[in-house]
């Protein structure tokens, strides 16, 4: 196509063998030159957009909404996204902080605000790119088919925890707060059998398998898990509302694409999926 346009820009005969005058040549040559520039610009820009890819590391609380929203983002933007998982805080090799520290590639992280603040302090996040997406309360998990206990008051929640043979608690942000703050404050830390799990999915698996009577974790993770039900949220007096946030990882080579993803996740367009996942969206009108 480009060779054809170049030939069209040259003086000489047209396709019927007729000689072109200077004015015709000048007009046709100018038009052909514009077309060549346009084609070259398209060829230069299009492959870059088509090949843009993002790598996301995300903790479990935002998974339900994210999985609903990601296909729409990829379709609208033309950007392909691959997603890995990790816990927001805690110990072990699968926390998001540990993965970044050992060089796991990532452009965007989505995790609890507490975990993100730790990454910011460690200079793992591009300055000024952190955005709060949604918040979610803690709830109590029961196995599907079992009765749902009353956890609507502080005393009722204490009673449920104390009568359990085992309570699964993810060793991330919410679980850390339960073990270091709430359970000691209620005077039950030494009286309940706590099973600390690496991830929220491990806690729900324990409940679904009957290895723990209950788990306490973000409501959004409960609603997204198989084999378990939500018994209810913790009462307001002892509730811990967790914020989930996103940011661009320092050193990312896809900063603009990363910002587009975060803007989409915090947009009004994403609110319904976030709300349906059990979270309260923090959308801004856009």
**pLDDT tens by residue, the chain, 286 residues:** 443 333 444 444 444 444 444 344 344 444 444 444 443 343 333 344 445 799 999 999 999 999 999 999 999 999 999 999 999 999 989 999 999 999 999 999 999 999 999 999 999 999 999 999 999 999 999 999 999 999 999 999 999 999 999 999 999 999 999 999 999 999 999 999 999 999 999 999 999 999 999 999 999 999 989 999 999 999 999 999 999 999 999 999 999 999 999 999 999 999 999 999 999 999 754 4
**Counts of helices then strands in the chain (DSSP H, E):** 12, 11
Whether CATH 3.40.190.10 fits 138-238: yes
Whether CATH 3.40.50.720 fits 53-133+244-281: no
Structure tokens at 122: 């460690």
| Burial category of 231 from C-beta neighbours within 10 Å (exposed 0-12, middle 13-18, buried 19 and up) | buried
Q: What is the pLDDT of residue 284?
A: 57
Q: What is the pLDDT of residue 41?
A: 41
CA separation for the pair 17, 83 (Å, rounded): 60
CA separation for the pair 225, 8 (Å, rounded): 64
Q: What is the pLDDT of residue 52?
A: 75
Q: In Å, what is the CA distance from 89 to each residue of 117, 124, 184?
A: 10, 14, 20
- For β-strands 167-170 and 214-218, DSSP reports them as parallel
Closest CA to 259 of 269, 248, 250: 248
């Amino acid at each position: 196509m480009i060779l054809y346009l170049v030939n069209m820009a040259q003086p000489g005969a047209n396709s019927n063998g007729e000689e072109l005058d200077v004015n015709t040549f000048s007009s046709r040559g100018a038009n052909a030159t514009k077309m060549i520039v346009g084609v070259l610009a398209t060829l230069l820009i299009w492959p870059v957009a088509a090949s843009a890819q993002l790598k996301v590391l995300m903790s479990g609380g935002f998974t339900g909404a994210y999985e609903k929203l990601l296909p729409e983002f990829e379709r609208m933007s033309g950007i392909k996204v691959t997603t890995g998982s990790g816990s927001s805080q805690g110990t072990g090799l699968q926390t998001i902080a540990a993965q970044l520290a050992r060089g796991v590639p990532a452009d965007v992280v989505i995790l609890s605000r507490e975990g993100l603040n730790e990454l910011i302090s460690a200079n793992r996040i591009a300055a000024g790119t952190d955005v709060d997406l949604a918040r979610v309360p803690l709830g109590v998990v029961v196995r599907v088919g079992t009765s749902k206990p009353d956890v609507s008051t502080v005393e009722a929640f204490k009673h449920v925890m104390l009568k359990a043979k085992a309570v699964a608690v993810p060793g991330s942000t919410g679980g850390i707060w339960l073990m270091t703050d709430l359970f000691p404050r209620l005077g039950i830390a030494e009286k309940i059998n706590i099973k600390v799990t690496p991830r929220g999915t491990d806690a729900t698996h324990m409940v679904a398998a009957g290895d723990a009577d209950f788990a306490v974790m973000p409501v959004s993770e409960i609603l997204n898990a198989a084999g378990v039900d939500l018994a209810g949220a913790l009462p307001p007096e002892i509730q811990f509302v967790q914020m989930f946030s996103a940011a661009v990882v320092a050193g990312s080579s896809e900063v603009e694409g990363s910002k587009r993803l975060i803007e989409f996740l915090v947009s009004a367009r994403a609110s319904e999926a976030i709300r349906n996942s059990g979270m309260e969206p923090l959308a801004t009108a856009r």
